[in-house]
Amino acid sequence: MSKHGEKKQGTIAKTILKILIVLVLLASIVGVIYVANKNYTTNEIKNKTNLIINNSNVTTSLKADIYIKGGTVYLSKADIANFFDSTIYYDETYNQMITCSEKKIATMPLGKQEIEINSAKTKINGCLIKQENTYYIPLSELGDVYNMKITYVEETNRVTVDSSDKSYAIATAKKDISIKYKPTGISKTLAKVKKGDSITIATHSQYPTKDGWTRVRTGSGILGYVKTNSIGETNQIRETMETKPKIEGKVSLVWDFYSKYATAPNRKGTTIEGVNVVSPAFFYLEQQGKGNIKSNIGEQGKSYISWAKEQGYQIWPMLANDSAADTTSQNLRDYKIREKMINQIVDYIVSYNLDGINIDFENMYEADKSYFSRFLIELEPRLNEIGAVLSVDVTAPDGAPNWSLCYDRYTIGKVADYIIFMAYDQYGESSTKAGTTAGHDWIEVNVQKFLGQEGVPSNKLVLAVPFYTRLWQEKNDKIVKKPVVDMKNVNQVLPNGVEKKWNEDLKQYYVEYVQNGTTYKMWVEDEKSITEKLNLVSKYNLAGAAYWAKGRETQSVWNIIAEKIK
């Protein structure tokens, strides 16, 4: 190749190299611009009021715009339901909104500047309003109800909400600093903070930060990032409040049953092994009494309470509806009557130094399912306020309308401290066919239903077992009698020499014999069958067990309970 050709090739190579260098520089510039633009561009929501809840901007989740009038912050019912109270409810009978929190129930009449919190009425600045078929609630007047601080910052058109039971920390700016949209120096500046100003630490698992940066919130509600070394030491104003359990360990409850016409039993000088809760039959609904709750305590009941306290037992008396469907329906469907019942329950608990209540409403109308749930939703905060336990008795799922389908077990499981599955009367008083009172296979299937299809947490489900069975009597293939037999009397009722056959599915003994032309059948409840049932508590990590009822058991069963229910 000639020197001229070599020189020409060298020139071309240099030109290509220069072009490549220029392209690399252009790519770098484009990359820098892209990165800078990506970090500089924000998705800040403008031209509408922003809602900041516990240092998270939730404005994009609002169902309706926030409404500000006369300094009062209004939020739609749908947004209150989404963020604060999923059970908020408009009562058409009394034209009022009913909202609940952990320890408060509040009612607000439409168009009136007043609120009633836990049955105490007071004036407020705003009021419940209705615009274009949407209810707006004066959120800024509900700080005490929802246990939170609500602030409207007009300067930035932001509403900040801080829950009083959440962690809260602040720091002081060591110098004039810029609040960045992202944790990088080339991100857009959202606000300026002067030296000495306080800022809220807004660290949140949802917003992980890079080393050297801290997420903060300014006094005007702006959320962003600052260099960690630009702020002083964090001052922890409060820690997240932990709710202490109302009872330690597993629940082991015995119903101490006596009728509303009898007096409380004298338990003085006795103990019940393995039990930490007693539920005496102290209360019942007055028939057609418009919410009046009758008491069966008396002097004997006071002595019973003293005995239980001395033994270290919690006392959750039973409130029974005596299966009076009409009275129950009338009481549940009217807010004022529900409120009357709740006030009486609270008064009784406080007056007699009780630890809780056991709601035993049975044989309700299926149509009253949601009203029963409302009663419990409204009762719960009043009990939480005084530290009392709410336990609710329910039957097995998937049964008859007024026996089984009248309970919303999912809601009860959310609202109550404990939901007690009455795992008996599989074949009971209304049965036309002889069968077991509580077969193990039936109980286990229904426990699985509670935890599965019903969505009840295992740490709230208490398994109640029977201290009784039935002696079924048949003639010509028809049931003629089915008397209840207490567990302690089984061996006295059965004739000598009758063979007991173990049924592995039911996990209990079966007895059948004929006398004078009558066939007798019994599915025996004894220490062995109770042991098998109680094994389900540990198998499914349930909240505990309950026993119906004191006085029907054999003495030795308490040793089994003490061993199985730690």
3-state secondary structure 488-513: HHHHHHCCCCCCCEEECCCCEEEEEE
pLDDT tens-digit map of 183-211: 998 899 999 999 999 999 998 767 678 88
Contact at 8 Å (CB) between 276 and 545? no
Render pLDDT for 371-401 as a digit per residue (tens, 0 to 9): 999 999 999 999 999 999 999 999 999 899 9
Amino acid in the structure at residue 280:
P
269 and 210 share a domain?
no
The HSE-up count of residue 1 (CA atoms within 13 Å, CB side) is 8
Is 473 inside a domain boundary?
no
Asked whether the beta carbons of 318 and 281 are under 8 A apart, the reply is: yes
Together in a domain, 376 and 307 = yes
480 confidence band (pLDDT: 50, 70, 90): very high
- Provide the pLDDT for residue 19: 75
State the maximum Cα–Cα separation within the chain, in Å, rounded to a whole number: 133
Q: Are residues 228 and 266 in the same domain?
A: no
Q: How is residue 426 annotated by DSSP?
A: S
Our count of domains for the chain comes to: 3
Same domain, residue pair 349 and 274: yes
Question: 64 Cβ partners below 8 Å, 6+ apart?
Answer: 76, 78, 79, 134
- In this structure, are 172 and 297 located in the same domain? no
Q: Model confidence over 432-451: pLDDT tens digits?
A: 999 999 999 999 999 999 99
The answer, yes or no, to whether residue 486 has pLDDT greater than 70, is yes
Length of the chain: 566
pLDDT at 233 over 70: yes
Please state the rounded mean pLDDT for residues 95-99. 98
Q: Do both 256 and 331 map to the same domain? A: yes
Same domain for 560 and 431, yes or no, is: yes
Q: Is residue 82 part of a domain?
A: yes
Question: Is-contact 206 56, C-beta < 8 A?
Answer: yes
Q: Establish if 476 belongs to a structural domain.
A: no
Cα–Cα separations (whole angstroms), residue 498 to 127, 311, 511, 512, 528 = 74, 41, 7, 8, 18
Instruction: Judge if the upstream peptide bond of residue 549 is cis by omega within 30 degrees of 0.
Output: yes
Measured CA angle at 451 (ends 445, 457), to 5 deg: 150
- Does 17 fall in a domain? no
CA proximity to 415, closest of 451, 441, 384: 384
Residue with tokens 């807004």: 202
Residues 256 and 397 placed together within one structural domain of the fold:
yes
Q: What is the pTM of this model?
A: 0.91
User: Which one of 191, 207, 238 terminates a domain?
Assistant: 238
Boundary of a domain, candidates 97, 117, 152: 152
Q: What is the pLDDT of residues 424-433, one digit of tens each?
A: 999 999 999 9
- DSSP states of 179-235: EESSSSTTSPEEEEE-TT-EEEE--BTTB---TTEEEEE-TT--EEEEEGGGB---E
**Does any domain span residue 493?**
no
Report the amino acid identity of residue 441: D
Domain assignment of residue 27, yes or no: no
Cβ-contact 363, 403 below 8 angstroms: yes
Burial (CB count <10 Å: 0-12, 13-18, 19+), residue 85: buried
Q: What is the CATH number of the domain that holds 308?
A: 3.20.20.80
What is the pLDDT averaged over residues 93-105? 98
pLDDT digits (tens, 9 = 90+) for 246-257: 999 999 999 998
> Which residues on neighbouring strands pair with residue 109, listed in sequence order?
96
Asked if 447 and 412 sit in the same domain, the reply is yes
Query: Could you tell me the end-to-end alpha-carbon distance of the chain, in angstroms, rounded to an integer?
Result: 99
Q: Indicate if 324 and 372 belong to the same structural domain.
A: yes
- pLDDT tier, 36 (very low <50, low <70, confident <90, very high otherwise): very low
- Say if residue 227 is in the same domain as residue 265: no
For position 135, which CATH number holds?
3.30.457.10
Please tell me whether residues 389 and 534 are part of one structural domain: yes
Nearest-10 Cα torsion for 184, 189, 195, 200: -80
Range of the domain at 109: 50-152
pLDDT confidence tier of residue 348, bands split at 50, 70 and 90: very high
| Nearest in space to 376 (alpha carbons), one of 404, 410, 400 | 410
CA atoms within 13 A on the CB side of 129: 16
Q: Which residues pair with 53 in a beta bridge?
A: 56, 161
